[in-house]
Amino acid sequence: MATLKSYSACLRGTALLLPSPTSGDRYTRRNAKWRSPQAAVIPDFHLPMRSYEVKNRTSVDSIKSLRLITAIKTPYLPDGRFDLEAYDDLVTMQIVQGAEGVIVGGTTGEGQLMSWDEHIMLIGHTVNCFGASIKVIGNTGSNSTREAIHASEQGFAVGMHAALHINPYYGKTSMKGLVQHFNSVLSMGPTIIYNVPTRTGQDIPPEVIYSMAENFNLAGVKECTGNDRIKQYTSKGIVVWSGNDDECHDSRWNYGATGVISVISNLVPGLMRELMFGGKYPSLNSKLMPLMKWLFHEPNPIGLNTALAQLGVVRPVFRLPYVPLPLEKRIEFVNLVKEIGREYFVGDKDVQVLDDDDFVLVSRY
């Protein structure tokens, strides 16, 4: 009872703990130097909104073992809404050709162009349709800790197996702030921390990751700063996925990475599975390198969106500010497909160059 009374008093304010002033000391109190009342410091009584049924659906270890995770593309109808039929086909092709997980609503999937309603709906749809066949990792990160917590609660409630969390971008915080931010979301469930300083403007230094390494819910790190950093983590037993397609072969076989969170596997999932599962394969890695360079000629996902439209597996619809690659790059892609072999790419239609007028750019949706 005493604890409840003390807590109630804290909520009402510290003034209730002070004796009432007498008329004799009112003059003194009015003329004394004013001091701000001390803020009441109380424990954090906010508990994670989580279900043990959801929590126990997937173990952290089952996420740590994934070798090929595809950052799945989100396709659109001509009015800019999700094309769920095309999306289902994309995910199905990933499952058939050996991907073990998908990132839903990541940068590649254009989560930054979605409302949170769209975002959580797409995570739930993916779990509902494919959750028994592939691990569904929802990108529920945000530069607002409150928003990241809320989105993660919703994502886990609709059944996602793990969350992907970026460090706060644009409105950057301190190193202590990073630790507080990540610890706040780690309580929700299995989590992959994503470090990509070229997008966020801030590196997550190893000291921050080390401070959270013992957290049961830390599945690992998606690391984009290179193989030296990956080696730092793997030498200490921390699970890492390469975030760079052009480095992932060496990351996996020379630096201890568990696998890759891949963009190019949207196009050639079977070949990327060979690269991650079959042992060192430098000739295949070299064969794919021109396609990887083409894919990132402009910021991701511009190249991927263009390529999937040319392969005929999605409509040529872009949510602005993304626009298709120019004609000369589209012609280059057709030649790359022929060199690698059309049979290795998703879909079964002939690859096309497409005219500029074939593309639909949507600014309101």
Catalytic residues: 194, 222
Position 178: which residue type? Answer: L
> CA 192 to CA 240: how far, in whole Å?
9
Confirm if 90 and 313 have CB atoms less than 8 A apart.
yes
> CA 142 to CA 261: how far, in whole Å?
19
Angle at 83 between CA 191 and CA 312, to 5 degrees: 105
Beta strand 191-195 pairing with 240-242: unpaired
Confirm if 318 and 353 have CB atoms less than 8 A apart.
no
Confirm if 19 and 49 have CB atoms less than 8 A apart.
no
Question: Cβ neighbours of residue 92 under 8 Å, at least 6 residues apart?
Answer: 130
Token pair of 12, please? 């009402």
- Taken in order 71, 76, 81, 87, is the CA torsion positive or negative? negative
The stretches of 213-320 forming alpha helices (DSSP H) are 227-234, 248-254, 269-277, 282-295, 302-310
Q: For the chain, percent helix, then strand, then coil, each to nearest 5?
A: 45, 10, 40
